[in-house]
Amino acid sequence: MTKEDFNEILDFAVQREREAVEFYRELQTQTIFQDHINMLKDLEAMELGHIEVIEGIRSKGLNLGEIPKVPNLKISEYLSVDIEELDLSYQNILIRAMKREEASLKLYTEMSNRFADAEIQKLFRRLASDEAKHKQFFERLYDEWLSRGN
């Protein structure tokens, strides 16, 4: 794989993360509750962190180490909703975030299977693992919220 091909792949990943940043920024403008805005700012910061990691790979090369296995709670997979139709209640912000992370997880997993280059496969598996961690984070928040009787 050429350096140009590798950089195109990283550009793709960075663009995906920038879309996530914009997604959370847009939600911040739509909600009126400060707690929700603060949570959305935290989510935005997580996505900005992804961009830093990807750009670090660009400048320092692939040194991804061990890719952790993240248990899948599968909560988002069981929710069949049109996220664009949801209001911005706490529950629905969590659902939107879960669904977004689920989509990113699926995308990066599919991308890891499309490339023959072992380093690129590992890069996408690592990105998928990071998205799985975020998905799990939101699923746990959602599960805790439901457990409190909401």
Q: What is the pLDDT of residues 83-117, one digit of tens each?
A: 878 888 888 888 988 999 999 999 999 989 998 88
- How many domains does the chain contain in total? 1
Which CATH number covers residue 14? Answer: 1.20.1260.10
- What the block records as the tokens of 137 is 């984070």
- Residue 15 pLDDT level (bands cut at 50, 70, 90): very high
Longest dimension (CA), the chain: 54
Q: From CA 126, how far away is CA 24, in angstroms rounded?
A: 22
- Helices assigned H by DSSP within 31-148: 34-60, 75-78, 90-114, 118-147
pTM tops 0.85, yes or no: no
| Arithmetic mean of pLDDT, 133-141 | 92
Domain limits at 14? Answer: 3-147
pLDDT of residue 64: 66
The dihedral over CA atoms of 69, 74, 77, 79, expressed in degrees to the nearest 10, equals: -150
